[in-house]
Amino acid sequence: MKVSIVGTGYVGLVTGACLADVGNHVLCLDVDERKIAMLRGGEIPIFEPGLREIVRANAAAGRLAFTTDPAEGARYGRVQMIAVGTPPGEDGSADLQYVLAAARAIAQHMDGPRVIVDKSTVPVGTADKVRDAVARTLAARGATHAFSVVSNPEFLKEGAAVEDFMRPDRIVVGADDALAVEAMRELYAPFQRNHERLHVMDVRSAELTKYAANAMLATRISFMNELALLAERLGADIEHVRRGIGSDPRIGYHFLYPGTGYGGSCFPKDVTALLRTAQDCGLDLKVVRAVDEANERQKGVLVGKIVSRFGENLAGRRIALWGLAFKPNTDDMREAPSRVVIEGLTARGATVVAYDPVAMPEARHLYADDPRVRFAEGALEALDGADALAIVTEWKAFRSPDFEEMRRRLATPAVFDGRNLYEPAAVRAAGLEYHPIGRP
């Protein structure tokens, strides 16, 4: 099948590469000429494990191509996937200008029937707006091409997006006509050989499913973070509590790890967009609102612990920081807890020396004009002469450090672990102060 994809970010590029990898011919469109030049040269503008290899292999095989020409994209594929950004507006609602611009561009240049697929995370009712934009543009052209609008939200985890796409646990399709559903079944057939993964529903239910899924996962994270705060007050160990409740099959262990709060391009944006959608309907989602508020508070917990140890004035203090990306296996720092930690420390006069296995280029760009933020060549090098270590991202490379070497390098042997990576007794046996989350 020929497929056109508008947008080459995480969702668009992963989708295009994986569809090409099972035999489809895919044309990816982006208005960013620099990004398309990179992709044509075999490089990718994001870090995602396994993605570069798939992009290069399928481009070499002639199944994956890239363009900046909207007309070429609209005329190429029977299936047109829109995978552009939906950044939050000032009121928290999702900004649909790029989605609707893509829809109008498709309608302006399409030369036959099309199945137009909303792959971007969009509020309920977006498909209606896309359908209206396409219909109006076709009418202005005097064209009568048939088209369908489908909601096909993505459920990809950054850092495991290729694996998630190739082995999905579900494929949600919202469509109103049988021909569109049949096209989607054909497209996803290679991913359903073991068992049926396609969940067909009405368009609005599909749109809501995406927001509901992310809000539920965010709820679990904020719930555990609040319990961690309570555990500290009570002298309980949140890790024991986590294992105790996670062993209940009705609950499970996923997304029950306390830490420094969630971040990234999805959870914060989608939670606020869901709140705004409900507000527009005259409904206050009290649980979801509490999830958002708890997360904002949690991002400041690590700085609070450092301030409790060293005082409000951190002038002259040097703090090592391990982990800049919002999660492991990505270079994405959007809404990352590390940014809140850095801001909280530098605002009190501290100098931050940071290290991340992957996100350093992005961090250097973000903090290029801030002399209070410096970068180390390695994790241990960041510790040299530091008054404390703050661990923000749970990279595997941080899980089994040499505690004796850490103590020798740190000026003050204090570790503030925002991800509960270590057993407290082992850290303290090496002569280090250990300040985890929700543990006595």
Catalytic residues: 266
Question: CA-to-CA distance for 54 and 59, rounded, in angstroms?
Answer: 8
Quick check: 79 and 115 in contact, CB under 8 A? Answer: yes
**Burial tier of 103 (Cβ tally within 10 Å: 0-12, 13-18, 19+):** buried
Strand partners, 25: 2
Quick check: 63 and 26 in contact, CB under 8 A? Answer: yes
Count Cβ neighbours within 10 Å for each residue of 338-356 and write b for 16 or more, e otherwise: bbbbbbbbbebebbbbbbb
Quick check: 225 and 294 in contact, CB under 8 A? Answer: yes
Residue written as token pair 């209206």? 132
The alpha carbon of residue 353 and the mean position of all alpha carbons in its chain are separated, in whole angstroms, by 25
- The helices-and-strands tally (H runs, E runs) of the chain is 18, 14
Q: Where are the alpha helices (DSSP H) in 247-386?
A: 267-280, 286-298, 301-310, 337-346, 360-366, 379-383
| Angle made by CA atoms 284, 287, 289, in degrees to the nearest 5 | 65
